[in-house]
Amino acid sequence: MKTHSVLKTATLTIFTLTSLMLTTQSCSTKKKASTPTVSYQDYYNSDFYHAAQMAHFYPDSKTFADATPRLPLNELLASYNSLKDKSDFDLKDFIETNFDIPQPFQADFKSDRSKTVQEHIIALWDELTRTPDNIKAHSSLIPLPGEYIVPGGRFREIYYWDSFFTIKGLKLSHPALAEKMVDNFAYLIDTIGFIPNGNRQYYMSRSQPPFFALMVNEISAEEPLKYLKYLPSLEKEYAYWMQENKTVQIDGMTLNRYFDTGSTPRPESHREDYELAQNLSTQEKKEALYSNLRTGAMSGWDYSSRWFADNQNLSSIEVVDILPVDLNCLLYSLEKTLSTTYQLKGDNAKGELFRQKAEARKKAIQTLFWNKTSQFFEDYHYVNKSHTARRTLAGGFPLFLSIASVKQAQGVKENLEKDFLKPGGFVTSLQNTGQQWDAPNGWAPLQWTTIVGLNNYGHTSLAKQATFNWLAISKKVYQNTGKMMEKYNVMDLSLAAGGGEYPNQDGFGWTNGVVLALNELFPKEKN
């Protein structure tokens, strides 16, 4: 994309500033921290980082990405460069000498399968809770001031859109922790200008689906004055998403896309991205692929045929050219929340401005993303000027946020009932590509958004059936394994979910939250 060359300097600045912030905040002595001469971006793009990741020393790229150097980055790279060409140099020995390698998560927690799923989840929250960060120097972890919940498994940090669904469950069992989660995200917005994918340096080039406004709604709806506390953060969140690189003008309408500012392999998936690009003939094509892989990760759907030009292969990913329907629905929610908050403040002019922005976006969603032929909301390929013609659960977001017309909601309901409802809940897409955000997998966040969306429009019978199916598979896997999983195979209940770059993870933050919330939504389905 042309945008890359313009943004490389800005991206480097962000990484450098955040490196400075991290060094300052993690210093445990009164000695003033020295200014780093190597940014995290420089480190992730270094020959050393590439060599370490391509050596296959660890199960996946994220393991080494999470490793903590024992030296400042500039000293580490200087040491490597001085030793690498010596005949007796051993890369693995160098890494083990100079890094603390994260160990696989081993919880002392023992599941008691005599407990209900709900009882298990409430007991599990403590295992997934992390205290305010006081981290080692040179760590990639961005410190947070309050307690927070991690998803579980390989995910040792907070994640943006995961946390909304975790908060849904925490509100019912640990409401104070739910608010601390929101405060942590406000802190990230206030200090670095946006919420990164997760609180790691290697996520600093991208965010995730913007659920912050919905988080604020969760903890402020019964105490409206709380909205005012978060107004500066909501303003900055909106400014981030309305940057030129994330907006597209279509027939006078301003709509949004995902866009990661980098054009190199993702640090947490360096080896996987690099190997995928090797068959491409030019550096320009490789950079375009890296940009699309990064942007696909920003969408939270990493990865899905939703983004593939050929509907099947990851190498054809073209997400930077697509206007996602769910993203634009979430930004409608942000505009609505800003309107409400400005009105509470007494700033009626700004309240009206954002009301108009929300209404304009609502109209655009109802027209641009609606496919009259399929009777479903689909992503829009703004380069090809056409719908992507790929139906996924993203098409349920206009119902989740009450944007669809009654007639449109009926069409979505009929599609969901006929093609998406499976024995274990709603399947993510109708394509089986081996990617984790495709068939046969179902994911907790999309069960919630789809079920709530149906319920919003009075399609309660289908919503309840999907809820029953999802709670049943969650209960079955828990009774068999003692675990709550990241995702489930909703089409064949005898098989575990799979696909993607790593094995299925257990914990699991958003699954826990959605199970608790669905039991509250439809109490008769309690298990």
Q: Provide the percentage of residues in the chain whose pLDDT is more than 90.
A: 80
pLDDT by residue (tens digit) across 372-413?
Answer: 999 999 999 999 999 999 999 999 999 999 999 999 999 999
Active-site hit among 302, 318, 335, 506: 302
CATH of the domain at 348: 1.50.10.10
DSSP secondary structure code for residue 129 in this structure: E
Residue 275 within a domain: yes
When pLDDT is cut at 50, 70 and 90, the band that residue 103 belongs to is confident
Quick one: pLDDT band at residue 155, thresholds 50, 70, 90? confident
Same domain for 236 and 267?
yes
Domain boundary residue, one of 74, 100, 126:
100
H or E element: which one contains 505? Answer: none
Say which range, 282-286, 322-326, 344-348, 499-503, has the weakest mean pLDDT: 499-503
Residues 202, 89: one domain? no
Q: 371 lies in a domain?
A: yes
Number of structural domains, the chain?
2
Q: 318 with 367, same domain?
A: yes
For residues 379 and 467, state if they share a domain.
yes
| Per-residue pLDDT, 258 | 98
Structure tokens that stand for 490 in this block? 């909703």
Tokens 């983004």, residue located: 307
Please state the pTM of the whole predicted model: 0.91
- Smallest CA-to-CA distance from 220 within 147, 173, 167, 169 is with 167
In a domain, 108, yes or no: no
Q: Is residue 199 part of a domain?
A: yes
190 labelled catalytic: no
Q: Which residues of 222-260 are buried (b: 16+ CB within 10 A; e: fewer)?
A: eeeebbebbbebbebbbebbeeebbebeeeebebbbbbb
- pLDDT tens by residue, 194-243: 999 999 999 999 999 999 999 999 999 999 999 999 999 999 999 999 99
Identify the domain boundary among 35, 66, 100.
100
Asked if 206 and 261 touch (Cβ cutoff 8 Å), the reply is yes
Judged against a pLDDT cut of 60, whether residue 430 lies above it is answered with yes
Same-domain status, 156 and 206: yes
Flag whether 107 is in a domain: no
- Check 378, 486, 501, 506 and give the catalytic one: 486
Same domain for 95 and 183, yes or no, is no
pLDDT at 132: 82
Residue 50 and residue 162 in one domain: no
What is the extent of the structural domain holding 92? 3-100
pLDDT tier, 260 (very low <50, low <70, confident <90, very high otherwise): very high
DSSP structure string for 442-503: EEHHHHHHHHHHHHHTT-HHHHHHHHHHHHHHHHHHHHHHS--BSEEESS-TTS----SSS-
Separation of first and last alpha carbons in the chain: 50
| Residue 518 and residue 453 share a domain | yes
Contact yes or no for 337/343 (Cβ under 8 A) = no
* Residues in Cβ contact with 244 at an 8 Å cutoff, skipping those fewer than 6 apart: none
- Assess if residue 105 is contained within a domain: no
Are 173 and 81 in a shared domain? no
Does 147 map to a domain?
A: yes
Based on the domain organization, do 73 and 219 belong to the same domain? no
Residues 143 and 233 in one domain: yes
**Are residues 251 and 282 located together in one domain of the fold?**
yes
Specify whether 347 is catalytic: no
For residue 426, pLDDT over 70 is answered with: yes
Q: Is residue 110, in this structure, part of any structural domain at all?
A: no
